[in-house]
Amino acid sequence: MAGRKNYDIIIVGAGPAGLTAGIFCRMRKLSTLTIDLKEPGGQMTSIYPSKPVMDYPSYDLVLAVELAGSIIKQTKKLGIDFILGERVEEILTVSDGFDVVTSDVRYKAKAVVLAMGIGVFNQRELGVIGEREFTGRGVIHGIPKINTAKDKRVLCVGGGNSSLEVALAVKDIAKEVTLIHRNKSFEAYEFYKESIMNSQVKVKFHTELKEILGEEKVNEVILFNREDEKYEKLKVDLVVINIGLVPNFKKLRDWNLEVDNAGIKVDSEMRTSREGIFACGDMVSYPGKLKLLISASGEGSIAAESAFKYIQKKNQEG
């Protein structure tokens, strides 16, 4: 059974970063196990399967689920073992490498590649009245399943890429979408900014969410315009808050990994602060990091190659 043997590499996470790391591990003929708590594909399959991706080389337009499908197919052909539906809880350093511990089983490897995407972060909260009370009842932090917005009046909060991506992803199925940002302009890619400005999404700059109201579920919010200092009520069914991520320091510290505000610190070879553990994709932080599919894949290849060199060196030493 997959997972019962000692692997060269265990990859945690089967998004684009982890899947690509797997491809490059197999190019080096390393025995490779990939563990994911969900289905493979990462955010492409779990969050935005039906969204078109237009910035991945070789496709001018491809549905996320199809892009994920091609990468998954490629990994399966290369002989990567997969364990799905298990969450990695701990990584222990042992004499011959690492024990990767899930709730059910302990898997062994000489090196580990972490590719858990946003799995080790918590969404930043606004701290406004009603936010906690209505979480799960019309308030979502992070990226909702696109269908959640069907026929709803949606308020997107935040001016970064994630918030604009959500607004763009739901605009055609939602009843109406309002996007608010506390500053005077978005901090996002020009492509997203332009798409928002050319769409039916209603944009309100200089605007803060002050209060979320409702009964069983959210039905209204109170907004505050920082320029004219006026309050406004808006009827909404769904509030989607994307104002950044806060690393789950406890978990990462328990794993003994050095972090900064943006994620796990890695060097140009995707080495973490723990020898033999490499990381790639949305969870890593380095100057110039982009949270994109193509960067996740690129970093996956570097992490795999670095892990290969690490194992080679260990083998020579031992």
Ligand X SMILES: Cc1cc2nc3c(=O)[nH]c(=O)nc-3n(C[C@H](O)[C@H](O)[C@H](O)COP(=O)(O)OP(=O)(O)OC[C@H]3O[C@@H](n4cnc5c(N)ncnc54)[C@H](O)[C@@H]3O)c2cc1C
User: Residue 43, Cβ neighbours under 10 Å: how many?
Assistant: 21
The answer to whether the annotation marks 259 as part of a ligand binding site is no
Q: Cα dihedral angle (113, 114, 117, 119), rounded to 10 degrees? A: 150
Q: Where does this chain touch ligand X (CB under 6 A) — which range of 152-160, 162-170, 221-229, 261-269?
A: 162-170
Q: Where does this chain touch ligand X (CB under 6 A) — which range of 208-216, 229-237, 292-300, 306-314?
A: 292-300
Q: Provide, rounded to whole angstroms, the least separation between the CB of residue 244 and ligand X.
A: 13
**Residue 35 touches ligand X, criterion: CB under 6 A:** yes
Q: Provide, rounded to whole angstroms, the least separation between the CB of residue 275 and ligand X.
A: 21
Query: Is the distance from CB of 12 to CB of 113 less than 8 angstroms?
Result: yes
| x-or-dash string of contact with ligand X, 172-191, rule CB under 6 A | --------------------
**Residue 296 touches ligand X, criterion: CB under 6 A:** yes
Query: Is the distance from CB of 75 to CB of 22 less than 8 angstroms?
Result: yes
The answer to whether the annotation marks 123 as part of a ligand binding site is no
Q: Where does this chain touch ligand X (CB under 6 A) — which range of 132-140, 205-213, 285-293, 310-318?
A: 285-293
**Residue 212 touches ligand X, criterion: CB under 6 A:** no
The answer to whether the annotation marks 254 as part of a ligand binding site is no
Among 28, 31, 38, 234, contact with ligand X (rule: CB under 6 A): 38
> Whole-angstrom Cα distance, residue 73 to residue 116?
20
User: Residue 235, Cβ neighbours under 10 Å: how many?
Assistant: 12
Q: How far is CA 307 from the centre of its chain?
A: 22
Q: Provide, rounded to whole angstroms, the least separation between the CB of residue 235 and ligand X.
A: 25
| x-or-dash string of contact with ligand X, 108-127, rule CB under 6 A | -------xxxxx--------
Count of residues that interact with ligand X, criterion CB under 6 A: 38
User: Residue 255, Cβ neighbours under 10 Å: how many?
Assistant: 19
**Residue 55 touches ligand X, criterion: CB under 6 A:** yes
Q: Provide, rounded to whole angstroms, the least separation between the CB of residue 220 and ligand X.
A: 26
Who contacts 251 (Cβ-Cβ below 8 Å, separation ≥6)?
A: 120
* C-beta of 42 vs 138, nearer to ligand X: 42
Feature table: binding site for FAD:
36, 43, 48, 88, 121, 282
Which residues of the chain form contacts with ligand X (CB under 6 A)?
Answer: 12-18, 35-38, 42-44, 47-48, 51, 53, 55, 87-88, 115-119, 143, 162, 165-166, 169, 281-282, 291-294, 296
Feature table: binding site:
36, 43, 48, 88, 121, 282
